[in-house]
Amino acid sequence: MDLQTFLQQFVNALSLGSLYALIAIGYTMVYGILRLINFAHGDIFMIGGYLAFYGVSIFVMPWWLSVCLAIVLTTAFGVVLERAAYRPLRDSPRISIMISAIGASFLIENLAIVLFDARPKAFPVPDLFGANYVIEGVHIAAVSLIIPVVTAVLLAILLWIVHRTRTGMAMRAVSTDVDAARLMAIDVDRIVSITFAIGSALAAIGGIMWALKYPRLEPLMGIMPGMKCFIAAVVGGIGSIAGAVLGGLLLGLIELMTIAFLPELTGYKDAFAFILLIVVLLVKPTGLLGKNQGEKV
């Protein structure tokens, strides 16, 4: 492979990986706090895409307004979802809450099929994102450059919240030990809601950027990216924000580079993430940057 192809794939991988990273952060934050795989996270991502689409197409809003509104509404949706489907089960066995997450995901997908229609919709891409540049023979879509930048900015804001604010401190406390945090007069319910809000906002942004990159909306579009981003979070070390970013970038790189080097494996693309997951779980179950947690006897 020549340098040009490599660079081309690298740019693609960087943009896909940043997108994965953005969504993986939502998984990792929710898991860190509730020890819950939020199966519906991928569907929240889908809702973000659809809301932005309806804002532009039906309500004829300017795209930036539509995007902002979609993010706000999706965030609210994530918070409501946690209240309705997860909070009542917080003290139930982990299997129950996981079934609830699967059920919620199932319900959102089916509702989406009814409300949004199962037929794919074309997402209107604003000119700003649709532009294409050719630098030294490497084709770069504007959106591929914008995605890593947006991810980096959001990551910086998020890290600032988690490490520099009182809310962030409370979040870290809850994720270390819920009961101790409660004893320290931390309002756990509020922290969980904030976590879902942040995660859902990131998923909405991720969903919109996904739609800009692959301008096709479908009710089940969140499933595969959702699974892959969860895997990215596990690979990086679930509960760790840096881990989620690392896992997302790594997954994007592996997916695109493997295909670039070994085109005959293209058909197996969707299996890479799962194979990576199983290997990581067996070799280092805590993920690349995860902390060890043993069961106390």
Residues in contact with another protein by CB under 8 A are: 35-37, 85, 88-89, 92, 94-96, 98-100, 102-104, 106-107, 109-111, 113-114, 118, 223, 227, 230-231, 234, 267-268, 270-271, 274-275, 277-278, 281-282, 285, 292, 294, 297
Give me the least distance between CB of 99 and another protein, in Å please.
5
Closest CA to 289 of 28, 23, 41, 18: 28
Local structure of 121: helix, strand or coil:
strand
Q: Tell me how far, at minimum, the Cβ of 107 lies from another protein, in Å.
A: 4
In three-state secondary structure terms, 139 is strand
Nearest residue (CB) to another protein, 148 versus 226: 226
Evaluate whether 31 touches 238 at the Cβ level (below 8 Å).
Answer: yes
Choose between 50 and 129: whose C-beta lies nearer to another protein: 50
Phi, psi dihedral angles at 288 (to 5 degrees): -65, -40
Question: 123 — phi, psi (to 5°)?
Answer: -85, 125
CB of 119 to another protein, least distance (A): 10
Tell me whether residue 261 or residue 268 sits nearer to another protein (CB atom). Answer: 268
Q: Rounded to whole angstroms, how far apart are CA atoms 151 and 149? A: 5
What are the tokens at 230?
Answer: 């969860």
Residue 153 to residue 164: CA distance in whole angstroms = 16
Q: How far is the CB of 176 from another protein (least distance, A)?
A: 15
| Nearest in space to 41 (alpha carbons), one of 83, 13, 74 | 74
Q: Quote the tokens at residue 151.
A: 């991810």
For the bound state, the minimum distance from the C-beta of residue 296 to another protein, rounded and expressed in Å, comes to 9
Owner of token pair 């070994």:
262
Between 64 and 268, CB nearer to another protein: 268
Q: CB of residue 195 vs another protein: minimum separation in angstroms?
A: 17
Cα three-residue angle 157-159-162, rounded to 5 degrees: 110
In whole angstroms, the minimum distance from the beta carbon of 84 to another protein comes to 8
Task: Tell me phi and psi for residue 132, to 5 degrees.
Answer: -125, 135
